[in-house]
A = this chain, B = another copy of it.
C-alpha cells in the first residue's frame, strides 16, 4: 500500500472539512494516555531532557559549517545548550536548488502521502515537542501540547488538503474540440501546476510550529523545496518537525534537502540574506510589522505574512456580566497575553454595559475584570499553568513600562510563584483605563499581558474605534458582547469591512484567542495584520503557476 493509499481517507476527510467548515480534527487535542499511550508523556519529557546540552543530530541535510544554538528556557532562565548544525546561505540555497527538479516531479498523490505520513511520525513526538515548546516559548504545558502538537498538525493537514485540492482543480489533459462550421479544430491540451521555487519559512518565538507548518506544508505539497528559518530562541520544536519530514523523505529515496532547517544565532541572523536571494521565490513570515512589511516589498517574491495587530473587545450589552468578565480575564491571562489573537483594547461606553439586571458601570466592570484576573492568577492549581512564562525579556520590560501610561492603573503587573519553576520569568496582566481621546496610547500593539480599558462615548464610538484600529494597524481577532440584533449586525459588518473575524458573546470554555483548523481563517489577509490567511485558496494557489500547453490532435 502506498503512503497515498494509507492516508487517502484522512486527506479526503480534510478536504471535505475545508468545504463544510464544521468541526474536524485529525489529531486528538487532549494529551490523554488512552490516546497517546500510558508512558507517552514521561517518554517525551525524558527525550526532551536528553536533548539538553547536546547536539541535535537527527537532521539528514548536508553541508554543515558547524554547530550553534542559543535557546533559553523562560521557565528556568537558563540556556538549553542544544546545538544545531548551521549552514551558509549559499549551501542552503544550493542544496535546495538541487532538489527542486526531483521534488516537483514527484506526483501530488505521493507528495500528499509522504507529508501526511510525516504528521503521523510527528504525532508520536507530540509530548517531546510540548516540552520543547514550553522551554523555548514559555507556554504552559497544555497549550504547548495542543498548539505545537495536534493543532499544528491539523493546520498542516489543512494546508496539505488545500494545496492538494487546488492541484486537482484542472484536468491534466483534455481534447478541445471547436466546431468551425465545415470542420472542427481539435487540440490536445494539457495543464501543469509549476511550483514557484525555493520557499523560505521564517518562524516566530512564541508559536514555533503552529505558525510555521502551514507555510512548510503548503509549499511542499505544491512542489516547492523549503528552507525553515526558525527564530533563534525557539528552534527545537520545529527542528523535530523538520527531522521527521526528512526521515520520511529519505525512507522514500528522496533528498532530505527538500526540507532543510536553517538555524542562525542572534549575532549572525541570516534571514535577510535568505529572503533577498534571487532563487528564493516564496517567503512565509510571522513576526513584527516592520520586518514583515520589508519582506512584502521585496520585488519578485510571493510573500505571506502574519504581522502585528491591535485586537479589540467591544462591550455593549451582556446576559451575564460575571461570565463575561471571567471569560475575558482568562483571555488576557492565557499565555500572559503573548498570543497574536489576545485582546488588548477593551471599549466600554462611559454609560456602562447593559444587562438584564440593569446597567453595569464602567468602574463596576473594570473591578469585576480585575477581580477575575486576580482570582485566576492566585489559583495555584490554574494560574501558573494558564499564564505560563514570558518568552522575551523585552515583553517583561514592555509590561513594566505600561504601568507608567497616563491613565488609572486598575491592576499592576506582578510576579507569582510557579510551583514547578521557581526561576520562571513571569508577569501578570497590567490593566489601565484610557480615555478614548488618547488614541496615541492605544493605536499600537502592546505585545504581552497589557489590557487597556477605553472609555467611549457610546457603542457606536466603540465600533468605530475598533474598526479604525483594525484598518490602520491590523487586527487578527475581535471580541464583541451585545444582546441586540441590530448592534450585532453593525459590529459584524463594520469588522468584516476591516477584515477582522468577530467572536460574539463568548463565555465558558471558549475564548477569542482560539482559532480552529478547517473552520476559522486565521488572519484574513485583508488588514495590516498580515497579507495571508490560514487557509483560504489564495494561501496555496500563489505557491504555483498553471501553465497550459496545446497541440493539434492527430486527425
Contacts and interface: CB of A to CB of B under 8 A. Distances in A.
Contacts of A499: 194, 545, 547
Interface in A142-188: 166, 169-171, 174-181, 185, 187
Contact of A22 (B176, B507, B526): B176
A225 to B, nearest CB: 14
Contacts of A542: 538
Interface in A174-231: 174-181, 185, 187, 189, 191-192, 194, 196
B547 A516 contact: no
B536 A548 contact: no
Nearest to A549: B502
A541 interface: yes
Contact of A547 (B22, B501, B551): B501
Interface stretch (A359-367, A445-453, A517-525): A517-525
B538 A170 contact: no
B194 A550 contact: no
A552 interface: yes
Contacts of A506: 551-552
Interface string A484-514: 0000000010011101111111111110000
A177 B170 CA distance: 33
Contacts of A536: 541, 546
Nearest to A478: B549
A9 interface: no
Contacts of A550: 501-504, 520
A545 B526 contact: yes
B185 A510 contact: yes
A297 interface: yes
Given A503-B550, A526-B196, A174 B545 contact: no
A20 interface: yes
A191 B502 CA distance: 11
A23 B176 CA distance: 5
Contacts of A503: 549-551
Contacts of A169: 19, 537
A505 B555 CA distance: 13
A516 B192 CA distance: 17
Given A23-B178, A537-B169, A521 B547 contact: yes
Contacts of A521: 191, 546-548
A552 B20 contact: no
A309 B496 CA distance: 39
19 contacts: A19-B170, A21-B548, A22-B177, A169-B537, A187-B510, A191-B521, A501-B548, A501-B550, A506-B551, A520-B548, A521-B546, A521-B547, A524-B545, A525-B545, A526-B545, A536-B546, A537-B537, A537-B541, A538-B538
Given A180-B509, A521-B548, 4 more contacts: A19-B170, A185-B509, A502-B550, A521-B547
